[in-house]
Chains A and B, each alone.
Chain A
């Protein structure tokens, strides 16, 4: 079974303590209950978990608890098969989409009776919509192989049956009807001829689907394209004859979570909750590589480059979405001018700056930036989707702005576009020419939105990442990687001093030179080496920081602060009383202009070439609490004995 769809892989996996968290909601205050439930339901849940969420919702409703801000919706479900297993999944999936669903379920297999009888359970309940969840077995279809006339009248009888249901519901309760298209069974009678020959089951169902689509769309009712869904996962996986025989399940239980999510999307769309804007990360999302480090020539978006084509597919999907009225924005951790370069200069880019209503490229956290984007577009957070390859960024936005949809992405970029499409955030039930203009309504000048106050909770999120920063001096094992970092870092690089490998070896072996390499790991895995520092003796009692560079991927996590703590520890042991930092500006490293100021250094002077020197008196340095565990090993050299500095404790 294709797991992207069956397991709803755009949703984060259910937490290990799901049962505990659901139970804990029994004590939740009415003000938070709806919100917390939605958070829990926004994971990929299996049928049992969905059933438990639905039971909870039902109980909460009978106890008179408020489910705000979930929007109430009463849905009647007519079916000719067993839907008892599927109904709770509908309720739970609707929570995920901001809907508090109440389901009216009449007795088994009473489809026509319920629709046509004025005082039936369904009609009396005055539902907001009626889902006609019937499958092909409910239609009066008879084989009439090669017989055009009989085939036509068979199709017309089926359509008449469906129309009578529609008429019955409309005249008795006035509810909106949600009709499903029909998934044909995979068993063919001839083979290829089943499609072309009139009167085979496949061609009869094809014709019914075509005519059904026409009359539903024309009448203002809603179509749920189950045939397309079944085709997407595969008719052989959709239909399970053993389960039909056993319990009259019209499709495999394994696809109930997927089907339920599609019904929920449709209900949410009816309530106007379709999302309206797509926010794109740039590096490794819209192109392969990092523009700040790899430069225009280094990023991958070319036709003919396998990696590049994956990212072009993301651009193409974004453009197509824009064409149907979805607004595009950018949220990227990059210097603004550098982030704009590929759009302005790369010949293979499909996306251009004027496709974006807002273009946020800066070094602030994405939650604060996305809030600014929402403000600028006058859209609620629940209208936004963020596409980002970085699980740390995804986690941050999900945690701090839970109303924003953030799909999980697979490791392989070739599947990014498909995953975004599969999530169906932009599903709508109506499309008008005005929608085509919507993207234009937002002045497409790639505006920079003004940042408002920072979103709360970033520090707490960082602590939840379980980060460990491991420090070592330079050593032979890491030498190649150290040399690589020194030579390819451009953005977070204070002096851009380049070293050959022999020069790195020299620094490593010089007892008067302090060298530092840092590796960062977090709950998502090992980020490898992310920072390098070299301190050289200057005047007496002084270390000059000759090299300080860091991977931009770990910006905003207080790694620089932890690095400074580490340098100070070793400085004290070595009897150093002053640290002198140097900033040599280039056209790539403007981002670190205030690096030393941020760390508490004081500016000393500025020479003619704009290189600035900054000083920090070691004994005056304030200790800083950092949101990570710090491990320090291998520093025998300076004092002749090895010692370890432990987590957030400070030697003063």
Chain B
């Protein structure tokens, strides 16, 4: 799966976690700037992504996920 496809799928996933209408994702969007973000919804986002893409992140990888671009790259590396 390439980055474009990953973005497309994230547009469906992120609103489910944060109770948003649509997600205007761009690589620079910082995850903690998303409305409704807190440390727990961050964990929920990671877990939801793991299930959706059937991947598992290492604990050490999770700390480096600042923005959407980091997230996409991390997903791509695990696929």
Asked if B48 contacts A48 (CB within 8 A), the reply is: yes
A52 within 8 A of B: yes
From A19, A85, A242, A245, B44 is in contact (CB under 8 Å) with A85
> A-side binding surface: helix, strand, loop or mixed?
helix
Q: Which residues of the other chain, B, contact A85 by a CB distance below 8 angstroms?
A: 40, 43-44
CB distance from B38 to the nearest CB of A (A): 8
Q: Is the CB of A247 within 8 A of B43?
A: yes
Note all chain A residues with C-beta closer than 8 A to B40. Answer: 82, 84-85, 247
B16 with A48: CB separation less than 8 A: yes
A246 with B59: CB separation less than 8 A: yes
State whether the Cβ of B2 lies closer than 8 Å to any Cβ in chain A.
no
Whether B19 and A253, one on each chain, are in contact in the complex, defined by CB atoms closer than 8 angstroms, is no
CB-CB nearest in chain B for A84:
B40
Cα A84 to Cα B43 with chains together (Å):
11
Interchain CB contact (< 8 A) of A47 among B19, B44, B59, B62: B44
A437 and B16 CA atoms in complex are apart in Å by: 49
Q: Are A242 and B19 in contact (CB under 8 A)?
A: no
Cα distance A245–B16 in the bound complex, in angstroms: 25
Which of A51, A52, A246 lies in contact with B43, CB distance below 8 A?
A246
Q: Let me know if B19 and A52 touch, CB within 8 A.
A: yes
Contacting residues, chain B, for A572 (C-beta < 8 A): none
Main secondary structure of the interface of B (DSSP, over half): helix
Indicate if A55 sits at the interface (CB-CB under 8 A).
Answer: yes
Closest Cβ neighbor of B56 among chain A residues: A242
Which has the most chain B C-beta neighbours within 10 Å: A19, A49, A247? A247
Which of A48, A52, A242 has most B Cβ within 10 Å? A48
Roughly how many angstroms separate A307 CA and B16 CA in the complex, as a whole number? 42
Give the CA-CA distance A212 to B65 in the complex, in Å. 43
A96-130: CB near B (< 8 Å → 1, else 0) gives: 00000000000000000000000000000000000
Whether, in the assembled complex, B73 has its beta carbon less than 8 Å from a beta carbon of chain A, the answer is no
Q: Indicate if B29 sits at the interface (CB-CB under 8 A).
A: no
| Chain B residues within an 8 Å CB radius of A48 | 16-17, 44, 48
Name the B residues within 8 Å of A51 (CB-CB). Answer: 19, 44
Chain A residue at minimum C-beta to C-beta distance from B17: A48
Please state if A245 and B59 are interface contacts (CB–CB under 8 Å).
Answer: yes
What's the nearest-Cβ distance from chain A to residue B25, in Å? 17
Contacts of B55 in A (CB 8 A): none
Which A residues between 246 and 292 are near B, CB-CB below 8 angstroms?
246-247, 249, 253-254
Q: Mark A141-172, 1 if CB is under 8 A from B, else 0.
A: 00000000000000000000000000000000
Report the separation of the CA atoms of residues A49 and B15 in the bound assembly, to the nearest whole angstrom: 11
Docked Cα-Cα span, A247 to B39, in Å, equals: 9
Chain A proximity of B14: nearest CB distance (Å): 11
For A23, give the chain B residue with the smallest CB separation. Answer: B21
A33-54 interface with B by 8 A CB criterion: 47-49, 51-52
Q: How far is the CA of A85 from the CA of B46 in the complex (A)?
A: 13
- B20 → chain A closest CB, angstroms: 11
Q: Which residues of B contact A (CB under 8 A)?
A: 16-17, 19, 39-40, 43-44, 47-48, 51, 59, 62
Chain A residues proximal to chain B, CB less than 8 Å: 19, 47-49, 51-52, 55, 82, 84-85, 242, 245-247, 249, 253-254
